[in-house]
A = this chain, B = another copy of it.
Amino acid sequence: MLDDRKLAVLRAIVEDYVSTNEPVGSRALVERHNLDVSPATIRNDMAVLEEQGYIVQPHTSAGRIPTDKGYRLFVDKLSAIKPFSTAERRAIETFLAGAYDLDDVVMRTVRLLAQLTRQVAVVQYPSLSKSAVRHVELVPLVERRLLVVLITDTGRVEQRVVDVPTSYDEDSIMHLRAVLNACLDGRKLTDIATIVADLPGRVDPRERPNAAAVFSVILETLVERHEEKVIVGGASNLTAADFSQGLREVLEALEEQVVLMRLLGETEDQTSVTVRIGAENDVLGLRTASVVATGYGSADRPLAKLGVVGPTRMDYPTAMGAVRAVARYTGQILAES
């Protein structure tokens, strides 16, 4: 129902519109791309494409612009992810390799992504539920107060203060720490719930109340509330991409952790790059925005998601290339440490 030429026309419209930000007409189309037909022919094709909902004209006497559906077809069938040159890859690699810290890796990643795509970059911290425990530390604060510090094998450190019901001494802390480390070391956080359940049997009855308090805090902090932070960068790029709807809405949405989580979370597939266009991401206020996202981390050990947010009028091939490349290297860097 759409022959090759019509698809070529759609592709051309998307490409031109993305680069010029102006509705594209039949004449300009035959000139810029070497379609060996007359403008009138193109017009007929465009009429069909419009009828099918792939393009619209904003005003009666203007060129056409792609609809969400048009972009969708473009992304699915008409374009290929733009691979990065080896020089670019090397630049990415060295930029990320300079990081000395988990925080720093994430910071650099978000900056890099924002710079490469000239869009807003969104990076989720490595997820707790996917990582394993490396060490648990208990630090006495004041009377009846402990600081629980949990170190994961992705280098992430989680902390939480806990009030324990009875006072403790150094020995009991030592013991509790030893038990915890023996049981938890190397275990995935997702497994911990079941492990903790039978832990109390291992400690001195006198210590049970305190132990229970610590256990429940660990559970609560790390399993129930898998706080997965998201950081955002490159917000200034939004000013260039004049959003049809208010820029305010977009900025607001980007400040809501929950919204961002959902945006990235909807990326089902871990390894491939997902694109959600316009209304496809059912976040109010991002109706005219697209999200290009993917997971990072090795295939057997997915860590989290990252991506970019921009106007639907976005250079998808490049954005997808950048997201894929950055995800790859960030995953690699994190795997090493």
Contact = CB atoms under 8 A, between A and B. Distances in A.
Interface of A: 100-102, 134-135, 137, 139, 141, 147, 149, 151, 155, 157, 159-161, 233-236, 238-240, 246-248, 251-252, 254-255, 337
A37 to B, nearest CB: 42
Contacts of A155: 147, 159, 161
Interface residues of A, dominant DSSP: mixed
Contacts of A233: 255
Given A147-B151, A149-B151, A247 B252 contact: no
Contacts of A149: 137, 149, 151, 157
Contacts of A147: 134-135, 151, 155
Contacts of A251: 235-236, 238-239
Contacts of A159: 101-102, 151, 155, 157
A255 B102 CA distance: 19
Contact of A248 (B100, B102, B161, B239): B239
Contacts of A139: 134-135, 137, 151
Given A149-B149, A235-B254, 9 more contacts: A102-B159, A137-B137, A137-B149, A151-B159, A155-B161, A157-B159, A236-B248, A239-B248, A240-B248
Nearest to A217: B100
A209 to B, nearest CB: 21
A251 B234 CA distance: 9
A147 B147 CA distance: 18
26 contacts: A100-B161, A101-B160, A134-B141, A134-B147, A135-B137, A135-B139, A137-B137, A137-B149, A139-B151, A147-B151, A147-B155, A149-B149, A149-B151, A149-B157, A155-B159, A157-B157, A233-B255, A234-B255, A235-B251, A235-B254, A235-B255, A236-B255, A238-B251, A239-B246, A239-B248, A240-B248
A157 B161 CA distance: 12
A108 to B, nearest CB: 12
A91 B159 CA distance: 27
Nearest to A239: B248
A210 to B, nearest CB: 18
Contacts of A137: 135, 137, 139, 149
A239 B236 CA distance: 12
Nearest to A225: B100
A135 B177 CA distance: 15
Nearest to A137: B137
Given A151-B139, A233-B255, A255-B235, A337 B161 contact: yes
A134 B159 CA distance: 14
A101 to B, nearest CB: 7
A189 B247 CA distance: 43
